[in-house]
């Protein structure tokens, strides 16, 4: 197995276990590359990549851009604010206009679920989904699973709980697919209003009690409360949420075993976890960010191999 089974990365759902393992193996090599004195390889010097962001992002965008530059690709950046999108141009028109300037690959974040999939059917370029609404965020799930593999040796057989706003989270959905494909057990934990009604059909356990969930797991992935996506109030107050579902040092120390703490960022310190947890040695938040560049290099490298000249 030396080739991805897909031509675009729109979601983890389409990937096979072999695909994920191939991405991890390639990422191992890129992780070594980004720790060299010269962190750059010339593989993609004839490729141009457009980063199209219709939604705000710091980490993902920076991480993709660094990954592209370290592969020597040419990079153009585009954000929806201050562009013709405001003047009423459609998504396909916008992207086709960019592609006519000879762009080979598009990395896109969009507020609408399915936007990346839609685009992959309509335009002639490799599409990488950098988050589509509340649907999927595949590279985040890959880097999360890769970080677990790095920290615990393997993902298979491990128990991972995803805590927080599952309803609005693309990270949660992609993580569930990815971890299950790798053979891990997944639980989601949060207030009833933030857990989708039929989530158990994905084969995940559901809990509404943080302590119980933490006692069960090896790894806790704490998600951010996405206030920007919540049109109504899903819980009485942030303070109440953090009292019931926020992770603090006392809870962490009271557990019967040492668990690994993750967060996809950005952290709202004091809401989903306290500062002493975020900065503790059990937290691998910054390793996740480092691995993000290696994973994205691997994804882009493997998809670029499928571009025909």
List residues binding other proteins (CB under 8 A).
Answer: 2-3, 22, 25-26, 28-29, 32-33, 36-38, 40-44, 46, 71, 301-302, 304-307, 309
Which of the following is catalytic: 13, 59, 208, 229?
59
Q: How far apart are CA 288 and CA 268, in angstroms?
A: 17
Smallest distance, Å, CB 307 to other proteins?
A: 6
206 versus 307: smaller Cβ distance to other proteins: 307
Q: How far apart are CA 272 and CA 265, in angstroms?
A: 11
46 versus 240: smaller Cβ distance to other proteins: 46
Q: How far apart are CA 280 and CA 248, in angstroms?
A: 11
Active-site residue flag, 59: yes
Q: In 164-224, where do the E strands start and end? A: 185-189, 205-207, 219-222
| 188 Cβ neighbours under 8 A, 6+ residues apart | 161, 162, 163, 166, 172, 176, 195, 199, 204, 205, 206, 207
Smallest distance, Å, CB 67 to other proteins?
A: 13
Q: How far apart are CA 188 and CA 200, in angstroms?
A: 9
47 versus 163: smaller Cβ distance to other proteins: 47
Which of the following is catalytic: 36, 58, 86, 87?
87
Active-site residue flag, 87: yes
Residue 78: in which H helix or E strand, if any? Answer: strand 74-79
44 versus 115: smaller Cβ distance to other proteins: 44
| 113 Cβ neighbours under 8 A, 6+ residues apart | 132, 133, 134, 135
Smallest distance, Å, CB 96 to other proteins?
A: 23
Q: Give catalytic residues, as residue numbers.
A: 59-60, 87, 109, 137
């Amino acid at each position: 197995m030396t080739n991805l089974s897909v031509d675009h990365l729109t979601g983890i759902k389409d990937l096979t276990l072999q695909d994920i393992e191939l991405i991890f193996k390639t990422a191992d090599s890129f992780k070594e590359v980004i720790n060299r004195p010269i962190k750059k390889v010339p593989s993609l010097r004839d490729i141009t990549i457009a980063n199209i962001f219709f939604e705000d992002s710091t980490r993902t965008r920076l991480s993709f851009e660094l990954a592209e530059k370290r592969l020597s690709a040419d990079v153009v950046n585009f954000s929806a604010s201050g562009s013709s999108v405001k003047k009423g141009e459609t998504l396909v028109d916008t992207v086709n206009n960019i592609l006519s300037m000879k762009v080979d690959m598009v990395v896109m974040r969009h507020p609408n679920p399915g936007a990346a999939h839609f685009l992959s059917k309509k335009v002639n370029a490799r599409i990488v989904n950098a988050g589509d609404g509340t649907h999927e965020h595949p590279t985040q799930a890959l880097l999360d699973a890769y970080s677990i593999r790095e920290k615990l040796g393997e993902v298979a057989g491990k128990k991972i709980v995803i805590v927080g706003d599952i309803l609005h989270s693309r990270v949660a959905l992609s993580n569930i697919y990815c971890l299950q494909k790798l053979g891990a057990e997944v639980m989601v934990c949060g207030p009833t209003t933030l857990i989708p009604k039929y989530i158990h059909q994905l084969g995940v356990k559901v809990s509404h009690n943080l302590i119980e969930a933490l006692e069960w797991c090896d790894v806790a992935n704490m998600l951010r409360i996405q206030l920007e996506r919540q049109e109504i109030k899903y819980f009485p107050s942030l303070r109440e949420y953090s009292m019931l579902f926020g992770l603090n040092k006392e809870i962490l120390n009271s557990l019967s075993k040492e668990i690994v703490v993750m967060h996809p960022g950005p952290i709202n310190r004091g809401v989903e976890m306290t500062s002493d947890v975020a900065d503790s040695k059990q937290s691998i938040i910054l390793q996740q960010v480092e691995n993000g560049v290696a994973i994205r290099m691997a994804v882009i490298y493997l998809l670029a191999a499928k571009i025909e000249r």
